[in-house]
Amino acid sequence: MADVTQRIREIIAEQALRQPDEIALDAGLGDLGIDSLGLVEAIFAIEETFNIAVPFNANEPGKSDFDFSSVGAIVRAVEGLIAARAA
């Protein structure tokens, strides 16, 4: 699902004010300078782009089953949500 990876890198890059090729899969969102508002905006963009619902509660950011630990973790979680939707 290279398209998923590239599109998520583009979404994260937009929030981090960087180029997509500067977004490493092992980078954490905090390392990229993305704050909580940027995270919420990225989640909305991911949901809209892939027509999925990301399990995230902005009032309880640490209590989500969705892994936000790195860009690669986000890619894997989105791929899982896409696969679940298709099943």
Span 62-78, mean pLDDT?
Answer: 86
Kindly report the CATH number assigned to the domain that includes residue 19.
1.10.1200.10
Q: Of 48, 6, 50, whose CA–CA distance to 25 is shortest? A: 6
pLDDT score of 31 more than 70: yes
CA distances to 3, 6, 68, 75, 76 from 63, in Å? 28, 27, 11, 19, 18
Name the domain count of the chain.
Answer: 1
pLDDT score of 50 more than 60: yes
**pLDDT tier, 60 (very low <50, low <70, confident <90, very high otherwise):** low
The boundaries of the domain holding residue 41 are 2-86
Contact 53, 47 (CB under 8 A): yes
Span 52-71, mean pLDDT?
Answer: 77
